[in-house]
Amino acid sequence: MGLLDSVIGAVLNGGQQQAPVAGGGLGSIIGMLAQNPQILSTITGMLGNDGAQGGLGGLVGTLSKAGLGDAVGSWISNGANQPVSGEQLGGALGADVLAGLAKQMGVNTGDAGGILASVLPELINQLTPQGQAPAGGLGNAGDLMGMLGSLLNQKA
């Protein structure tokens, strides 16, 4: 089984070979991120205002310009999340950005795209509970870590 399969299994099963975490996928996602600090650091770096991608607003803009606006809009809205593939995210972010993110995560670029496609929809959905992105973004990476901890405590 490859790393991507392991990550997806962790997302779906909370890192265990059992039923998904009760209450939804967020607990599973945060549990997987907590067990993989390099992935957690990369994701918070992407979504934090102090990140190279310009935070949530920058990421939304990048994905929208690449034709994924409806999908990313669904992650922020109160409706169902539209899925995206790792290839779609890789194409939207660009090969250089995806390669940099992959290096930060310690995986190859194909796995990096798959990890992002598995994690970002639910994570962004949960970080925008009012159905819209906060005007000032999600804060810096440290603020975002605190928000993730609060969300995990709520789901526990």
- DSSP string over 9-61: HHHHHTTSSSSPPTT-HHHHHHHHHHH-HHHHHHHHHHHSTTSTT-HHHHHHH
Tokens of 112: 């990096």
Residue 55's region, left for phi above 0, alpha for psi from -120 to 50, else beta, is left
In the chain, how many domains are there?
1
When the pLDDT of each residue in the chain is averaged and rounded to a whole number, the result is 78
Structural domain range at position 66:
3-155
> 80-89: string of b/e by CB count within 10 Å (b at 16+)?
ebeebebebb
Mean pLDDT of 31-56: 82
Top-confidence residue, 35 or 38: 38
Mean pLDDT of 70-90: 94
Top-confidence residue, 31 or 85: 85
Mean pLDDT of 79-84: 93
Top-confidence residue, 55 or 129: 55
Dihedral angle over CA of 41, 145, 29, 136, nearest 10? -100
Distances from the Cα of 137 to the Cα of 2, 36, 47, angstroms:
34, 24, 8
Confidence (pTM)? 0.75
CATH of the domain at 22: 1.10.10.690
Determine the Cα–Cα distance for residues 132 and 151; give it in Å rounded to an integer: 17
